[in-house]
Amino acid sequence: MYILGIETTCDETGLGLIEVKENRVKIIDNQLSSQVKIHQPYGGVVPILAAREHEKNLPFLFKRIKNSFELEKVDYLAFSVGPGLLPSLLAGKKFIQELAKNLNKKVIPVNHLSAHWYSVLIRKKTQQWQKFITINFPALVLVVSGGHTTLYVFKSWNERRKIGETVDDAAGECLDKCARALGLGYPGGPEIERRAKMAKKFFSLPKPLLQKGYQFSFAGLKTAFIDLVSQIKKYGKLDEGTVNDLCASLQKTIFEIIIYKMKKASRDFKVKTLIVSGGVSANQTFKRMFKKAMPEIPIYFPQKSLATDNGINIALAGYFNLSSAVEVDKIEVFPR
C-alpha cells in the first residue's frame, strides 16, 4: 500500500511517500521545504506569507516525486487538516482537492498531533524496509513543539485520554520568544541549545504550575525571563557569557518542568512506555535529562529528521487511520 502525505499546518511544506506492508514500512520519498529564511526578519511565522510559500512550494515538491514515481500506484492521500495556521491549512486544502480529483483518490484527514506521536515508530530514515517499533501500553505520550505542549495516556493506539496541556504558551513558543529577547533570531530553540552548551552558571527562574496536576504554563516563565534580561541590560552587562548562561537556565527550567510532570504521571498511571515527540524532542540535552531522570521506563523519541513537521509523519498517521478516508469534498480544516 502506498500513501502520499501532505503537510502544510505552519511554515514547513512537506510531501512524503511511504509503502506499508503489514507491520513494515519503507520511505519512498521525503520532500521538504523550509520557510525559516522567509520568516526570520519578522521574528516568527507570518501566516499569510506562510500560505503564499505553500502555494509556491507544493507544485514544485510534487513534481519531484512525480518524476521518480508512478503516482497511479498511490492508494491514498493523507492530509494534515489541523491544528495549524488557517491560511496555511487552506493553501494545503486547495492543493489536496485538485490532486485528489486528478488522481481519483480518497483522502485521509490527519490530526497534526497524531502525526507527531506516530513518528516514533520509524527507527531510521533510509529507503529500506523496517518494522514498526512495538509499543507496550499503557504509554505516556508528550507532544512538545512551538505550538503544542500536550500530554496523553494511551491504553492502545485507538484509546487515549488527554490529561494535560499548556494553558498559554507552548514550550517551543517560550523558547522562541525568549530567544528574540536575547537577539538570537528565529527559530530560537536550536540557537538556545547551541549557546547553552557553553554556559558556566545558572540563573534561578520560576516554574509555574509545577504542583498543579498535568497542566503546563510557560507564559509566566517567559515574562520572568524577559524581565531578567531587561534588568541585566540596565544594571549589568549582557555579554556573550551571560547570554550563554541565560540560554542554559531557560532550557533547563523548561525541561525540568516537563520531566517533573511526566515523572509524576508515569507513576500515577503506571505506564510501561514513554513517547516524547514534536520539534523540541530533537534537543539533545532534553533527551539526556529525560533518560537520566527516568531510566526505569523505555523512552522513544523520533528520529531528528522526523521530529519537526514533514509529509512522512502525515502519511504514517494516515496509514493508522485508513478507516477515516473520505471523498475530498468532505475535507475540513481546523486552526488551533
Q: Residue 72 burial by CB count (10 A; 0-12/13-18/19+): exposed, middle or buried?
A: exposed
What lies within 8 Å, CB to CB, of 144 at 6+ separation is 150, 170, 171, 172, 258, 276, 277, 278, 279, 280, 281
Which residues are paired to 247 by β-bridges?
Answer: none
**160 in Cβ contact with 10 (< 8 Å):** no
The CA distance from 260 to 245, in Å, is 22
**Across 277-293, average pLDDT:** 95
The CA distance from 124 to 151, in Å, is 25
Q: In what order do the strands lie in the sheet with 107-111?
A: 107-111, 76-82, 2-7, 12-21, 24-34, 130-131
Q: What DSSP assignment string belongs to 13-68?
A: EEEEEEEEETTEEEEEEEEEEE-HHHHGGGTS--HHHHHHHHHHHHHHHHHHHHTT
**169 in Cβ contact with 152 (< 8 Å):** no
The CA distance from 284 to 304, in Å, is 10
Indicate the range of 124-133, 264-273, 281-290 predicted with least confidence. Answer: 124-133
Whole-angstrom CA distances from 6 to 66, 191, 273, 333, 336 are 14, 28, 29, 13, 18
**Please, which pLDDT band fits residue 274 given cuts at 50, 70 and 90?**
very high
**Please, which pLDDT band fits residue 336 given cuts at 50, 70 and 90?**
confident
**Please, which pLDDT band fits residue 144 given cuts at 50, 70 and 90?**
very high
pLDDT of residue 212: 87
Q: Which residue has the cell 502506498?
A: 2
**Across 135-152, average pLDDT:** 96
* pLDDT tens string 153-207: 999 999 999 999 999 999 999 999 999 999 998 889 999 999 999 999 999 999 9
Equal CATH topology for 2-133+307-330 and 139-297? yes
pLDDT of residue 127: 79
Which CATH superfamily is 139-297 part of? ATPase, nucleotide binding domain (3.30.420.40)
How is domain 2-133+307-330 classified at the CATH fold level? Nucleotidyltransferase; domain 5 (3.30.420)
**195 in Cβ contact with 244 (< 8 Å):** yes
**Across 238-263, average pLDDT:** 97
* Alpha carbons within 13 A on the beta-carbon side of 186: 20
The CA distance from 118 to 313, in Å, is 7
**77 in Cβ contact with 27 (< 8 Å):** no
Q: Which residue has the cell 526578519?
A: 41
Which has the higher per-residue pLDDT, 42 or 135? 135
The CA distance from 122 to 128, in Å, is 11
Containing 284, the helix (H) or strand (E) segment is helix 284-293
- Domain positions in the chain: 2-133+307-330, 139-297
Query: pLDDT exceeding 70 applies to what percent of the chain?
Result: 100
Query: Before 59, cis peptide (omega within 30)?
Result: no
**Please, which pLDDT band fits residue 24 given cuts at 50, 70 and 90?**
very high
* pLDDT tens string 227-250: 999 999 988 889 999 999 999 999
First to last CA, the chain: 31
Indicate the average pLDDT of the chain. Answer: 95
Which cell numbers hold the place of 311? 509529509
What lies within 8 Å, CB to CB, of 222 at 6+ separation is 169, 174, 177, 178
**Across 322-331, average pLDDT:** 93
